[in-house]
């Protein structure tokens, strides 16, 4: 049940300056496609709320039975959204008896945070004296 996530961004090959970055170099097609799947999973209010409910849970995990009643949506719909979050590698789950518990995969959110972080002393070109100077 826990073996279906995307392997996206899977290379953590010891590179200290991990994650090419999105903000530092142009993504190639393949990277963009994989990354887009994860961001797309975050691109829905219901899934964002589900993720935040799961991530902020004290014990680290939540029973589906606690998630479903928090929404004005049918149980199959919630189940579907949880599946998408899981396929994106953002959460994982396990069945224990009658109930299924979900928890955050912090490695994935860490990775996204890293991808969206620009290198420390980035120029940050002051947008005040925009003169000519570029392209074509």
Residue 13 CB burial class (10 angstroms; 0-12, 13-18, ≥19):
exposed
Q: Which residues form the interface with DNA (CB under 7 A)?
A: 40, 43-44, 46-47, 63-65, 68, 72-84, 93, 95, 97-100, 136
Check residue 23 for interaction with a copy of itself (CB under 8 A). yes
Among residues 40 and 118, whose Cβ is nearest to DNA? 40
Q: Which of 8, 22, 79, 80 binds a copy of itself (CB under 8 A)?
A: 22
Contact between 6 and 88 under an 8 Å Cβ cutoff? The reply is: yes
CA–CA separation, 44 vs 26, rounded Å?
A: 26
Q: Compute and round to an integer the Cα radius of gyration of the chain.
A: 19
Q: Choose from DNA, a copy of itself, none: what does 81 bind? Cβ within 5-8 Å by kind.
A: DNA
The DSSP result for 35-61, as a single string, is HHHHHHHHSSHHHHHHHHHHHT-TTSE
Check residue 121 for interaction with a copy of itself (CB under 8 A). no
Among residues 61 and 117, whose Cβ is nearest to DNA? 61
Contact between 54 and 103 under an 8 Å Cβ cutoff? The reply is: yes
Instruction: Output the smallest distance, CB 49 to DNA, in A.
Output: 11
**What H or E segment, with its residue span, contains residue 113?**
helix 106-115
Residues at the site binding a copy of itself, with contacts judged by CB under 8 A: 21-29, 32-33, 35-37, 39-49, 51-53, 55-56, 59-63, 65-66, 94, 96, 99, 101, 103-104, 106, 109-110, 112-114, 116-118, 122-125, 127, 130, 132-136
């Amino acid at each position: 049940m826990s073996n279906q996530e995307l392997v996206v961004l899977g290379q953590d090959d010891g590179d200290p300056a991990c994650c090419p970055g999105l903000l530092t170099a142009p993504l190639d097609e393949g990277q963009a496609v994989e990354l887009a799947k994860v961001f797309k999973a975050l691109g829905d209010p219901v899934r964002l709320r589900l993720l935040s409910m799961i991530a902020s849970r004290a014990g680290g995990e939540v029973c589906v039975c606690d998630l479903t009643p928090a929404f004005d949506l049918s149980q199959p719909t919630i189940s579907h959204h949880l599946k998408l979050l899981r396929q994106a590698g953002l959460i994982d789950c396990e069945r224990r008896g009658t109930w299924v518990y979900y928890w955050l995969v912090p490695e994935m959110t860490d990775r996204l945070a890293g991808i969206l972080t620009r290198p420390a002393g980035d120029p940050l070109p002051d947008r005040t004296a925009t003169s000519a100077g570029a392209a074509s």
